Chain A
Amino acid sequence: MTVLVLMENNEASLQTLTLARKFGEPLRAVHMEAVQPFAPDAIAAILAMVADDLDVSSVFAAGTDRGNDVMARLAARTGLPFAANCIAAEPVDPVTVVRQRWGGSLLEDALLRAPRALVTVPPYALRVTDAPAPIDVDVKPYLTRIEPADLQVQVTGHVVAAGGGVSLAEARVVVSGGRGVGSKEGFAIIEELAGLLGGAVGCSRVVTSAGWRPHSDQVGQTGTKIAPDLYIACGISGATQHMAGCKGAKRILAINADAEAPIMQNADYAVVGDLKEIVPAISAEIRKLK
């Protein structure tokens, strides 16, 4: 059984191969860069043609923004069901999947009744396994068969993010503030600690709703999903939707006035007390070392 994989140049795509291999070998690959600039309908059109020509049993992609986008377009144009963000799947009839809901805070056992399974795998859920790389499909013949309508939606430009600094999604350390920080100005101590650790500043949803920080700093289900070595959550209670954004962190340090806050059940380390005293004290202690 041949399996088709939509590959991006990222770790999530390598993790996707782990699940795709359960559905058969060889794996064949079409790359997200096949059409430049990016045109999601054109990639979906190529996948549809290749899937038919190779008579593949299933199509996999990483559950990234682009992966889910293109796979949903493939599903829409072929009339097939599509299971997004699966952390497990079995190639039985019908296919069984375990999907993430609520950004991974809840799982769903489901049946995928389809002649061809379309599945994405969320980042950080599976390990990369050591196995042969998929074989690239020669997409040249397919490029000439793309209809003009499939190039109507195509990237025409790129706006570079203002700012600089360490990117929230890629920082090794994220120091994040919640309601407990109290104000826009209160974030000065959060910024200071993040700076000393070479990390990025994050925040919870209540902070962006209050206008204290831009939405680009928000960690959570509807913000940025992060996987740093250390996440320092200051004055954040740890609502499910927040934890969906930081559960990829290797370690979590919670600084909170409430020892019973939900975040304490999800943290590795805790300090109880007033973050306005604790955070500057940690910064001062780090300065002594430097």
Chain B
Amino acid sequence: MVLTADNMSLETRHLGFTMSPHEECGVEEAVRLIEANGGESVVLTLGPPEAIEQLRDAMALGVDRAIHLQTDGAEWDPEGTAAAILDAVRADEATSGTFDLVFFGNESADSGGYQVGLRVARALGRPAVTGLKGVKVEGGSVRCEQEADGGRDVYVVPMPAVLTVKEGLNLPRYPSVPGRMRAARKPVAASTPARPPACLELVRLVVPPGQGRRAELLGSGAAAARAVVEMLRSVGLL
């Protein structure tokens, strides 16, 4: 991992962006629910202007419209992020009605704060279940499965509810060409919320020191099998 000169972000000039795995499963689940039950799905992100690409990706999978809370690329702390999303959800619900379900990734792939979805749920006064690998709407409730102790814990909560999901919930589809063409014409509502002062304030990023491992070459090809078995014996695994 390479940092920018000020150590405040990753050097991404030569990298592409993608939706994170947890969120991708959240999008897929929303699209499936609407396909099965009817209704409308909306995708929201807080991010720089380039994040429009990920919103288009979600709409190519079948999401109906997007909300883009645009930033200048500076770091937003979890409370600020939650507050901006809360405002946007409230504003949208005031005109379009209450969302039966709001999906979040369990944690963001980059900053890993583990809290934005729960903060939004609390402020909305809705039940929230985290880390889901299974979601099933049953009447006015949603049955949730969360990995735990060699199996899954089950929760049943009334809707509206907030669900945070993990990769493995489903296997997201690939966008089709017609899907991409439709996505280009779907509406995106953009706004630029003000960034509040951070209570959890990033000072600098640090690339952790390497684990100091330098691989000992045990050999090449099938002939190395004996050396591998020797190693397994020496470390007590055989």
Write the residues of chain A forming the contact surface with B, with a CB cutoff of 8 angstroms. 38, 40, 63, 65, 68-69, 71-73, 75-77, 81-85, 96, 98-114, 120, 152-161, 167, 172-173, 197, 205, 208-209, 211, 215-216, 218, 221-223, 229-230, 240-241, 247, 251-254, 264-274, 277-278, 280-282, 284-286, 289
The interface size of chain B toward A, counting residues with CB under 8 Å, comes to 81
A269 CB contact (under 8 Å) in B146, B215, B225:
B215
- A40, A107, A112, A252: the one contacting B213 at CB < 8 Å is A252
Contact indicator A216/B168 (Cβ below 8 Å) = yes
B204 to chain A, nearest CB (A): 5
- In the complex, 28 of the A-B residue pairs with CB atoms within 8 angstroms, ordered by the A residue number, are A68-B107, A71-B114, A76-B118, A76-B119, A77-B122, A81-B78, A84-B112, A101-B110, A101-B205, A102-B112, A105-B208, A106-B1, A106-B206, A108-B204, A110-B200, A152-B157, A153-B128, A157-B154, A158-B151, A161-B152, A215-B167, A216-B168, A218-B168, A222-B167, A240-B1, A269-B218, A271-B228, A289-B238
Q: Are B220 and A285 in contact, CB atoms less than 8 angstroms apart?
A: no
Provide the residues of chain B in CB contact with A266, threshold 8 Å: 210-211, 213
Chain B positions 14-69 with a Cβ under 8 Å from a chain A Cβ: 20-22
In Å, the complex CA distance between A85 and B199 comes to 16
Main secondary structure of the interface of B (DSSP, over half): mixed
Q: Which of B131, B210, B217 lies at the interface centre, i.e. has the most chain A CB atoms within 10 A of its CB?
A: B217
Are B157 and A65 interface neighbours, CB within 8 A?
Answer: no
- Contact between chains at B199 and A113 (CB < 8 Å): yes
Given contacts A82-B200, A152-B157, contact A108 B213 (CB under 8 A): no
| Chain B minimum-CB-distance residue to A250 | B235
- Contact assessment for B113 and A84 in the assembled complex, using a CB-CB cutoff below 8 Å: yes
| Contact partners of B154 in chain A: CB under 8 A | 155-159
Q: Assess whether B109 is interfacial by the CB under 8 Å rule.
A: yes
Check A265–B213 contact: CB distance below 8 A.
yes
Name the residue on B nearest A109 (C-beta): B203
Q: Establish whether residues A289 and B222, one from each chain, have CB atoms under 8 Å apart when the complex forms.
A: no
Q: Are A76 and B150 in contact (CB under 8 A)?
A: no
Q: Is the CB of A72 within 8 A of B200?
A: no
State the majority secondary structure of interface residues on A.
mixed
Cβ of A173 and Cβ of B237 under 8 Å apart?
yes
Chain A proximity mask over B147-180: 1 for CB below 8 Å, otherwise 0:
1111111111110000000111001000000000
Q: Which of A104, A274, A278: most chain B CB closer than 10 A?
A: A278
User: B201 within 8 Å of A by Cβ?
Assistant: yes
Give per-residue flags for B106-149: 1 if the beta carbon is below 8 A from chain A beta carbons, else 0: 01011111110011011100011111010000000000011111
Residues of chain B contacted by A209 (CB below 8 angstroms): 171
Would you call A273 and B222 a contact (CB within 8 A)?
yes
Q: Which residues of B contact A222 (CB under 8 A)?
A: 20-22, 109, 166-168
Instruction: Please state if B118 and A69 are interface contacts (CB–CB under 8 Å).
Output: yes
A85 / chain B contacts, CB cutoff of 8 Å: 112, 114
Residues of A close to B111: CB separation below 8 A: 101, 108
Within the complex, the shortest CB–CB distance from B146 to chain A, in Å, comes to: 8
- Nearest 9 A/B pairs, CB to CB: A215-B168, A72-B115, A76-B122, A81-B199, A281-B225, A281-B222, A270-B215, A157-B154, A273-B221
Considering the chains assembled together, what is the distance between the CA atoms of A271 and B10 in angstroms? 32
From A84, A102, A218, contact of B109 by CB (8 A):
A102
